[in-house]
Structure 1
Amino acid sequence: MISEKEILVNEELKNRLIEIRRYLHQHPELSFQEFRTRDYIASLLDEWGIPFTIIGETGIFVDIIGENGEGPHIGIRADIDALPIQEKTGLPFSSSNTGIMHACGHDGHTTILLGVVYQLYQRKNLLSGRVRCIFQPGEEADGAAQQLINLGVLENPRVDVMLALHLWPHLPHGTVGVIYGAVTASCDDFVITVEGKGGHSARPHQAIDAITISSQILQALPTLVTKSSRPVEPVVVHVGKIHGGTANNVVADNVVLEGTTRAVTLETRKRLKIQVMELSKNIAKSFGGKAAVHYKESHPPVINTQWVTHALEESAKELFGSEQVVQLKEPSMGADDFGSFSEKVPSTYFRLGTAIEDKPSYDLHHPQFDFDEEIIPIGVELFIYTIKSRLQKGVENKC
């Protein structure tokens, strides 16, 4: 077994990981355009003598095969893409790519996983089973995780359990936030195209007003939250964009509504799709018009498996102390495509706090988002400790 002392990130490795993080932060790339990021990760793995596999165009995974007998196959995912945001942090290593920024901590996630790879590979003679470390492109886009799954990233051999983290500015620095069940919501998008019949505003009886129909749909959609959902279950139905009409004295014949739905259970997610489509079509029909609904399923909810989450929570308590571990009170209505992994494999996705008292703390996707790099060794140690202390020997009997 790997000793606790051996897995600690020493000063030399910590400084190297900070250097890596700063390079990644300075050279962000958008979803599915992470070619330089992929090449940089590959160059580090080559330098360390660690074999890797390119998956898709910009994804990479590393299999660390234990030399200490049979054991479970454990996966860890880190997202590598950035956002279309102009950075305003003023950091000396700010983004060199105009309008692109690591504003969601993915540079930290990637660095942490690189630290895990480095540490575990040096000690593979003490490992059982296999650890697959996945550097995933396109988390900020649609369907990236599912694309890797379709390409077989969970197979050959089959991955038994998946882990992931997200840096979290809503918790104190170094605090580990866990939750049982849903961690993030599903995220699905819809476009409702309302068709009426154009005409002159002076003769409305000869026309079918698409704006009036759309207003009725807008008023009715929130009832899917207030009247059709359990009051204790978080649900979002939101319209954020409307386009219609050409002049103030013309009855509009066409209006387009664009929105999103979010849910924390698969059942509610499925129901919302049906209800948005039926409600829109029925209201339009009642006014003599039509509604076509294009409903795009994007990310399922991230749902933590109880026994995997318990393993992570107990490991964090042993490593950092119970006071550094909190159970989150509610899921986030934000989304993460790690849900595609948690649908297929027992998983846990946890938060790692970055907020420092008396220092400004900006939310994810903010142009001034940043984090204290002392968080990097904490993430590395928690992943490794959870793997070696529980998951390496506990998958079969659920820890």
Structure 2
Amino acid sequence: MESVELQESLVQQLYQIRRHLHQYPELSFQEFATCDFLCSRLNEWGIPYKRVGDTGVVVDIVGENGKGLHIGLRADMDALPIQEKTGLPFSSLNNGVMHACGHDGHMTILLGTVYQLYQRKNMFRGRVRCIFQPGEEADGAAEKMIEQGVLSHPPIDEMLALHLWPHLPFGTVGVRYGAMTASCDTFAIEIEGKGGHSARPHQAIDAIAVSGNVLQGISYLVMKETNPVDPVVVHVGKILGGTATNIVADRVIMEGTTRAVSKETREKVKERLVELVEQMVTSFGAKAKVTYSEGHPPVINDREVTRAFVESVEELLGAEAVHILTEPSMGADDFGAFAERVPSTYFRLGICREGVPCHDLHHPAFQFDEKIIPLGVKILTHSVFKRLTEGV
């Protein structure tokens, strides 16, 4: 197989691209300047593309060696509402907005992969569809792109996506067979009691007291009604209720998330949470309204696609560079919407250097060594090239 080494001139371009993207981050579904910048680079390289929706970009690279697999690659584009505190010379110039989740790196890696594959399209068969996806930090972005046809015309057979990861050594790859990340759904519970004076609690129905019992019921649901070896999180992160110390609250609103790594458990938690809350609140004489919204599905890695990917990374970097993760993350990524429809692999690319502070994702001081960018390009390019030339 041809070497996937990058020319130094391309590496320097990619560093400059990443710094520009980092300096001008944009929130979910507002990535207009980001989209324009990516398109301008593709224009400079003479690589055709199409815009999808308001801010998405898709590049199709058709191999010239005949028919073969159609492989999709995805990178997310959006930033977070965080005030940057990295001290980088190319820190965000957009006040209160920061690439604190590495999406600037993801876009740059995919852009470099586009360049590498486009230059070699006469050497492989099939098709590579590179998807720059807006709105990953929001809800419904991946679904919207799927509705807009990014998995069809012609259909995609399998997909890859990466995420920079501060919990793995620099340059290593973390992946697992099966569940990689959890689903993430949201719920709101509105408890309607009966207001009154705290001196006469028997004449009222205390919505705050009822909410305390609901919290206990949620704990019971997690501990006693779900399989202990099938991870589940039901988290209440916000409670609003009460107006004064001597008034019995007549209304409480509780909001939270549920997470699961299997479709069956996800459905069961949704069903039982609604049932349990309604039954418990009613038993105290109060009323309950539960609003449940499905968000990102879990990312489930396909065994065959993952096997081929692992084999590719081991060939490129050595077996010691691959970490087969023992457990899924209970975080979420809307790449799960793609993985639900197309056999896929989602992997972590380690960025933690020994002796260097490594902040977690979504931290205002999050940053990474740019040398991970050419390595990421090599990993994606090698994996795709191997798949579309050797068919393994």
TM-score normalised by structure 2 residue count? 0.98
Instruction: Give the secondary structure class of the aligned counterpart of 2:362.
Output: coil
Map of 1:217 onto structure 2: 214
Instruction: Give the secondary structure class of the aligned counterpart of 2:104.
Output: helix
Amino acid in structure 2 at the alignment position of 1:337: D
CA deviations over 1:159-192 (Å, ceiling 9, x no partner):
0001000001111110011111111110011000
CA distance in 2, matches of 1:153, 1:393: 25
CA distance in 2, matches of 1:186, 1:12: 41
Deviation at 1:206, TM superposition (A): 2.2
CA distance in 2, matches of 1:73, 1:64: 10
Deviation at 1:234, TM superposition (A): 1.5
- Are the aligned partners of 2:123 and 2:389 in contact in 1 as well (CA < 8 Å)? no
Map of 2:324 onto structure 1: 327
Q: Would the alpha carbon gap of residues 248 and 90 (structure 1) be closer, same or farther in structure 2, given more than 3 Å must change?
A: same
Map of 1:146 onto structure 2: 143
Q: Would the alpha carbon gap of residues 90 and 377 (structure 1) be closer, same or farther in structure 2, given more than 3 Å must change?
A: same
Instruction: Give the secondary structure class of the aligned counterpart of 1:343.
Output: helix
- Are the aligned partners of 1:172 and 1:355 in contact in 2 as well (CA < 8 Å)? yes
Q: Would the alpha carbon gap of residues 139 and 202 (structure 1) be closer, same or farther in structure 2, given more than 3 Å must change?
A: same
- Equivalent runs, 1:185-334 vs 2, <5 Å: 185-334=182-331
Alignment identity in percent?
65
Deviation at 1:378, TM superposition (A): 1.1
CA deviations over 1:131-185 (Å, ceiling 9, x no partner):
0000000000011101101111101000000100000111111001111111111
Instruction: Give the secondary structure class of the aligned counterpart of 2:384.
Output: helix
Map of 2:343 onto structure 1: 346
2:369 counterpart of 1:369: no
Q: 2:61 aligns with which of 34, 57, 64?
A: 64
- Equivalent runs, 1:55-204 vs 2, <5 Å: 55-204=52-201
Deviation at 1:390, TM superposition (A): 2.5
Deviation at 1:200, TM superposition (A): 2.0
Q: Would the alpha carbon gap of residues 43 and 285 (structure 1) be closer, same or farther in structure 2, given more than 3 Å must change?
A: same
CA distance in 2, matches of 1:152, 1:270: 27
Gap regions ≥5 residues in structure 1: none
Q: Would the alpha carbon gap of residues 349 and 131 (structure 1) be closer, same or farther in structure 2, given more than 3 Å must change?
A: same
CA distance in 1, matches of 2:98, 2:49: 27
- Are the aligned partners of 2:124 and 2:388 in contact in 1 as well (CA < 8 Å)? no
Deviates most, 101-110 or 121-130: 121-130
Q: 2:356 aligns with which of 356, 359, 378?
A: 359
Map of 2:378 onto structure 1: 381
Amino acid in structure 1 at the alignment position of 2:275: E
Instruction: Give the secondary structure class of the aligned counterpart of 1:222.
Output: helix
Deviation at 1:201, TM superposition (A): 2.1
CA distance in 2, matches of 1:237, 1:30: 27
CA distance in 1, matches of 2:288, 2:359: 41
Q: Would the alpha carbon gap of residues 258 and 391 (structure 1) be closer, same or farther in structure 2, given more than 3 Å must change?
A: farther
- Are the aligned partners of 2:68 and 2:388 in contact in 1 as well (CA < 8 Å)? no
Structure 1 residue ranges (4+ consecutive) displaced by more than 3 angstroms after TM superposition: 391-394
- Are the aligned partners of 1:192 and 1:258 in contact in 2 as well (CA < 8 Å)? yes
CA distance in 1, matches of 2:23, 2:139: 24
Deviation at 1:391, TM superposition (A): 5.1
CA distance in 2, matches of 1:4, 1:294: 54
- Are the aligned partners of 1:109 and 1:165 in contact in 2 as well (CA < 8 Å)? yes
Amino acid in structure 1 at the alignment position of 2:129: R
- Are the aligned partners of 1:17 and 1:111 in contact in 2 as well (CA < 8 Å)? yes
Deviation at 1:204, TM superposition (A): 2.2
Instruction: Give the secondary structure class of the aligned counterpart of 2:379.
Output: helix
CA distance in 2, matches of 1:259, 1:245: 19
- Are the aligned partners of 1:184 and 1:334 in contact in 2 as well (CA < 8 Å)? yes
Instruction: Give the secondary structure class of the aligned counterpart of 2:326.
Output: coil
Instruction: Give the secondary structure class of the aligned counterpart of 2:35.
Output: helix
Deviation at 1:122, TM superposition (A): 1.3
CA distance in 1, matches of 2:106, 2:388: 20
CA distance in 2, matches of 1:391, 1:313: 16
CA distance in 2, matches of 1:373, 1:9: 14
Amino acid in structure 2 at the alignment position of 1:283: M
CA distance in 2, matches of 1:222, 1:204: 26
CA distance in 2, matches of 1:70, 1:265: 35
Amino acid in structure 2 at the alignment position of 1:12: S
Deviation at 1:199, TM superposition (A): 1.7
CA distance in 2, matches of 1:224, 1:232: 15
CA distance in 2, matches of 1:267, 1:176: 29
Q: 1:50 aligns with which of 47, 67, 75?
A: 47
CA distance in 1, matches of 2:345, 2:132: 17
CA RMSD of aligned residues (A): 1.0
Gap regions ≥5 residues in structure 2: none
CA distance in 2, matches of 1:160, 1:357: 38
Map of 1:4 onto structure 2: 2
